[in-house]
Amino acid sequence: MFCRNCGKELTGSPEICPNCGAKPMSGTSFCPNCGAPTTKLTEICPKCGARVAGKVVAKAGGDWMPLTAGILDLVAGVPALLIGILVAAGLGALGRLIGRFSGVAGVGVIMGAIGVALIIFALIAIVGGVFALRKRTWGLALAGSIFALFCAWILGIPAIVFTVMGKKHFK
């Protein structure tokens, strides 16, 4: 048997390694069977084929769900951001023009606010999409998917579903 911390061969079954003082089954830098160096990602020793003890099996399946949700959020958010900018400028100018001729004050502000709301929704969808792509902060990814629903509902609904179903893949 070899120490998994320092790689020194151990005789018998000692409680601690006489070389480094670690428990023989602690650490992950050497194979416990043959003493070959391993990395943190190693599950099976390339030299002897023994399973490296203490490894957590990766979460199986569904790893694509957060990525798909992030892509859907971005596809919904980026065009909505551009449209929101055009709407804020266009409706604001149109509202001012209508306000001048009709005599009603504030029409331009109200119509411009519609575009600003769309810009805010699109930005939240984009930020949530980035968090979903990076598989970080599930709550922000879900918020982005929900706001993508307001930008493009046909993309927002599957984005919400994939974000919720892929929750276990977030850090």
Residue 73 and residue 101 share a domain: yes
Residue 92 and residue 163 in one domain? yes
For residue 111, what pLDDT band results from cuts at 50, 70 and 90?
confident
Query: Do both 84 and 47 map to the same domain?
Result: no
Residues 6+ apart with CB under 8 A from 161: none
Question: Both 70 and 48 in a single domain?
Answer: no
> Which pLDDT score is estimated for 68?
94
Residues 140 and 75 both lie in one domain = yes
Average of per-residue pLDDT across 145-169: 93
Higher pLDDT, 56 or 145: 145
More confident residue, 110 or 127: 127
Same domain, 156 and 79: yes
Q: Regarding predicted confidence, which is higher, 25 or 90?
A: 90
Q: Which domain holds residue 39?
A: 1-57
- Residue 121 and residue 77 in one domain: yes
Residues 68 and 134 in one domain: yes
The stretch 87-103 carries a mean pLDDT of: 80
Query: What's the pLDDT band for 55 if we cut at 50, 70, 90?
Result: very low
Q: Which of 62-71, 89-98, 117-126 has the lowest mean pLDDT?
A: 89-98
Q: In terms of domains, do 90 and 116 share one?
A: yes
52 lies in the same domain as 33: yes
Using the 3D structure, point to which of 57, 78, 93 is the last residue of a domain: 57
Q: 159 and 104 share a domain?
A: yes
Single pTM value for the model: 0.61
Residue pLDDT, tens place only, 142-152: 999 999 999 99
Confidence of residue 34 (pLDDT cuts 50, 70, 90): confident
Is 70 found in the same domain as 151? yes
Question: 57, 76, 93: which is the final residue of a domain?
Answer: 57
Most confident of 28-37, 45-54, 105-114: 105-114
Q: What is the mean pLDDT of the chain?
A: 82
Q: What percentage of the chain carries pLDDT values higher than 70?
A: 85
Domain count, the chain: 2
Q: Is the pLDDT of residue 57 over 60?
A: no
